[in-house]
Amino acid sequence: MTDRTLPAWDLSPIFSGIDGEDFRQTLSSVDALCGSMKAAIDSGLPLKDIVDIYNRLCATYETLGAYTSALLSTDTGNAAYLKAVTDVEAKSVALSEVENLFVQALGAREAEIDVPELSDYSYVLHHMAEDARHRMSLKEETLAADLARSGSSAFSRLFDTITSSLADDGRTLTELRSDAYSPDRALRKSSYEREKKILAQARGPLAAALNGIKGSVLTIESRQGWKSPLEHSAFISRVSMKTLEALVATLKSAQPMFRDYFRIKARLLGLDQLAWYDIFAPVSVPGASHREYSFADARALIVDSYSSFSSQMGEFARKAFDENWIDAAPHKGKVGGAYDTAFPLVGQSRVFTNFSFDYSSVSTLAHELGHAYHDSVVMSRPALLSSYPMPLAETASIFAEQILFQKVLSTSSEAEAIPLIESFVSDAAQVCTDILSRFLFESALFEARKEGEATADDMCRMMAQAQEESYGDAVADKHEYMWAVKGHYYSADFSFYNYPYAFGQLFALGLFARAGRDGDFAQKYRTLLSMTGQYSAEDVAASAGCDITSGAFWQEGIDVIASYVERMKRFADKM
């Protein structure tokens, strides 16, 4: 019988508690640090002094936010924890003001960045100074932020309100969408049809909200001097347009391989062709047994697999388990999902998960511990040099997941391996095929919005066309209402909240392919992680000998996925 014992994390090394003097003093120090920042900027202190204060401020605020959010996520009904979260969030107003002043100062004093004592900060500070050149006047930026509260931000909240209240015969949109993973095809089909029915009923206000958000983005970012929302998104991501173009071109050229996967999956399910509601259907294989994993099993697998690549990674994982950095037990009042969170002031991380004794739970734990390993590498650096952009955020987690995956496959029979492989390729297809469709849709929507408001019919047509370009004829129908499902479209803060996922997946797999050919790659990998908050994505990749402006590099990641698709094909051919 599987041991069902699961650990809770120990947060005492961070703070003694929200009522502790250490927490209260740290919280009050945010105001003092904000005051010090303003005084330093106003008095024209050397940039190095201002940077030092800003580093302390960011590390302090991040630690406070991570701590209170961690507490609340394990006990959502705790009023004291909720108040603590609110108290920390209240500091964000002053922090935002200070950040604006800092960026403005860098724009005005950019010539002072290139001094020896700031050499480590050169890229980051010049990047912030470039941001300053793309800002309107302080009065205009303040007005835009105020208007957003009743404009784009209000439209975003409207999306949340509408979609969270949609239901059919007592079943919510979220519940209906979760049926896509059911082994019961009749249920999958019924829930899919009901999902589209209720989305169609809400299409008017959802289209209005999306028009409002995209129109706001076009107006504001044009005033700020950006050529396009995609250019601004790439700037935030620290990715060049050349790299982004190479990535998207590789995704497009890889779609025939992914369509082959969808056709193979149809064969494994006994179907002539997948319907949209079959995309996430579980694949069962004769002779495959469902294995349970205890938390101790997960520990052994993760430590062993990490150690097989890097002794430092293995030791890190062992420390995380030994020092109770992981909260694994599901219980009432605990939110779902999984995450990693960092506490820069103490140089530690914690991992939150809901362990359910299957391989997926082990893989999720390996993924989040990969994030934590990344944290451990960058937290030795100041806050300004340890904050990495979204495309690089998934590097260590996917890499760690892949190490575990290879370890488990090496000890699995073919019947046991195929469902695991299918699940891996299914996830990859979401990141490389569905994400491509989202990218194409958003590109088309912005172009249409330049000419005026797009109707719900226009959005459905653009969505279906984007899916046709991605999925082709490998899936029988199209989900033309996906624009009404994905919340990432409904944010004015970061457009094209899609390509970073494909970047992260293929970048990590490309690195993994290099690791298999280079016996000394572990140290290069650690060096690469240490640079993720300090340089552009191109320079980070170059440290490991990778040219991400070339499609050839991205193809290496695609080739890893293709090898698993070929293995699935060989299995299907024998059935």
Q: Where in the chain is the domain with CATH 1.20.140?
A: 21-148
**What's the gap between Cα 146 and its chain centre?**
28
Q: Under DSSP, is residue 64 helix (H, G, I), strand (E, B) or coil?
A: helix
pLDDT at 69 over 80: yes
**Whole-angstrom distance, CA of residue 349 vs CA of residue 320:** 8
Q: What is the pLDDT of residue 361?
A: 97
Q: Look at 393 and 149; give whichever has higher pLDDT.
A: 393
Residue 311 neighbours by CB under 8 Å, 6+ apart: none
**Confidence grade of residue 289 (pLDDT, cut at 50, 70, 90):** confident
CATH 3.40.390 intervals, the chain: 295-413
- Identity of the residue numbered 451: E
How far, in Å, are 92, 416, 525, 548 from residue 390 at the CA level? 21, 34, 18, 16
For the chain, state the CA radius of gyration.
24
Q: How confident is the model at residue 142 (pLDDT cuts 50, 70, 90)?
A: confident
H helices within 295-452, ranges in order?
295-309, 311-322, 359-378, 390-393, 395-410, 414-429, 435-451
Output the pTM of the full model: 0.94
State the fold for domain 295-413.
Collagenase (Catalytic Domain) (3.40.390)
Confidence of residue 286 (pLDDT cuts 50, 70, 90): confident
Backbone angles phi, psi at 149, to 5 degrees: -60, -35
pLDDT per position as a tens digit, 313-355: 999 999 999 999 999 999 999 999 999 999 999 999 999 999 9
- Tell me: pLDDT of 176 over 80: yes
User: Which tokens hold the place of 528?
Assistant: 């690469």
**Measuring CA to CA, which residue among 445, 323, 337, 419 is closest to residue 376?**
323
Let me know: does 274 contact 180? Beta carbons within 8 Å. no
Distance between CA atoms of 304 and 315, rounded to whole angstroms?
Answer: 10
Closest alpha carbon to 473 in 189, 307, 260: 260
Mean pLDDT of the 459-474 span: 98
Q: Which residue bears the tokens 């993924």?
A: 367
Distance CA 306, CA 407 (A): 9
Cα-to-chain-centroid distance, residue 174:
20
Q: What is the average per-residue pLDDT within 393-420?
A: 95
CA distances from 361 to 326, 338, 453 (A): 13, 10, 44
**3-state SS, one letter per residue, for 192-246:** HHHHHHHHHHCHHHHHHHHHHHHHHHHHHHHHCCCCCHHHHHHHHCCCCHHHHHH
Residue with tokens 């005033």: 223
List the structure tokens of 314. Answer: 């293995």
Residue 288 reports pLDDT greater than 80 = no
Model confidence pLDDT, tens digit, residues 353-375:
999 999 999 999 999 999 999 99
Using CB atoms within 10 Å of the CB of residue 502, give its burial: 0 to 12 exposed, 13 to 18 middle, 19+ buried: buried
- Mean of pLDDT over the chain: 96
SS3 352: strand
Distance CA 25, CA 250 (A): 51
* Angle at the Cα of 195 from the Cα atoms of 190 and 198, rounded to 5 degrees: 125
pLDDT tier at 519, thresholds 50, 70, 90: confident
What end-to-end distance do the CA atoms of the chain give, in Å?
33
Q: Which helix (H) or strand (E) holds 28?
A: helix 21-42
**Cα–Cα distance measured from residue 248 to residue 451, given in angstroms and rounded to the nearest whole number:** 25
Query: Token pair of 511, please?
Result: 């690195």
**Res. 40: pLDDT tops 90:** yes
CA 247 – CA 261 distance, rounded (Å): 20
Residue 326 per-residue DSSP state? E
Q: Residue 441: its pLDDT value, please? A: 99
Burial code (b: 16+ CB inside 10 Å, e: under 16) for 369-394 equals bbbbbbbbbbbebbbbbbbbbbbbbb
Of 40-44, 143-147, 194-198, the one with minimum mean pLDDT is: 143-147
d(CA 557, CA 523): 20
Answer whether 352's CB lies under 8 Å from 73's CB: yes
Question: Which of the four pLDDT bands, split at 50, 70 and 90, describes residue 518?
Answer: confident
Percentage, residues of the chain above pLDDT 90 = 95
Quote the pLDDT of residue 2. Answer: 79
Tell me the pairing of strands 171-172 and 167-168: antiparallel
Q: How confident is the model at residue 113 (pLDDT cuts 50, 70, 90)?
A: very high
More reliable by pLDDT, 201 or 574: 201
494: pLDDT strictly greater than 80: yes
Architecture of domain 21-148: Up-down Bundle (1.20)
Q: What is the Cα–Cα distance from 331 to 75, expressed in whole angstroms?
A: 9
Supply the DSSP symbol for 293: -
Give the pLDDT confidence score for residue 532 in this predicted structure: 98
Class of domain 149-166+202-286+415-500: mainly alpha
